[in-house]
Amino acid sequence: MAGLAHDVARELPVDELVRLAAADGQEITPEERKHPVLLHGRAGAALLAREMPGCGREVLQAVADHVTGRPGMSPLARIVFAADFLAANRGFVDRRCRAGMLRLDLDAVVLAVLERVFAYLDQSGNPVAKNAVALYHELGEQANAQAKVG
């Protein structure tokens, strides 16, 4: 369900994106106001919660988180986040890159996706979402801890 519905709000008008996203009670950041497409995950989760009241919390959170990620994401949310970036219709991910990433474990894929997103945003002069940075640090710390254990 999360994979099918993750972009349910992607094409909504800006005012509707903002209204639906605000329903989660979280702040709408200046960056989200400047680039409202960043709200489509949160808006989609609100829309699903309203239209499909039996939709599970984990599915709703995966839909909400798939745009920028956030620390503490469930495995389902990380899968949707990575799959959205690696989708075959994404012209900015070539087949070799996609195939290489798909050989990694889930956290390593998410880290690689974040690194690619950060590089793109840096080149385009856009800031990185705070949640994405926090997720990157969380996964990096986990990877370092696992490496020490062996």
Question: Is residue 77 exposed (0-12), middle (13-18) or buried (19+ Cβ within 10 Å)?
Answer: buried
The residue extents of the domains of the chain are: 1-67, 69-150
Give the orientation angle of helix 40-51 with respect to helix 14-22, to 10 degrees.
Answer: 70
pTM for the full model? 0.90
Q: How many helices (H) and strands (E) does the chain have?
A: 9, 0
User: Cβ distance 107 to 115 under 8 Å?
Assistant: no
Contact 92, 121 (CB under 8 A): no
Q: Give tens-digit pLDDT for 42-84.
A: 999 999 999 999 999 999 999 999 999 999 999 999 999 999 9
The rounded Cα 149 to chain-centroid distance in angstroms is 29
Distance CA 143, CA 107 (A): 8
The number of beta carbons lying within 10 Å of the beta carbon of residue 97 is 14
Q: Which pLDDT band, with edges at 50, 70 and 90, does 148 fall under? A: confident
Spell out the alpha helix ranges (H) of 55-105.
Answer: 57-65, 75-86, 95-101
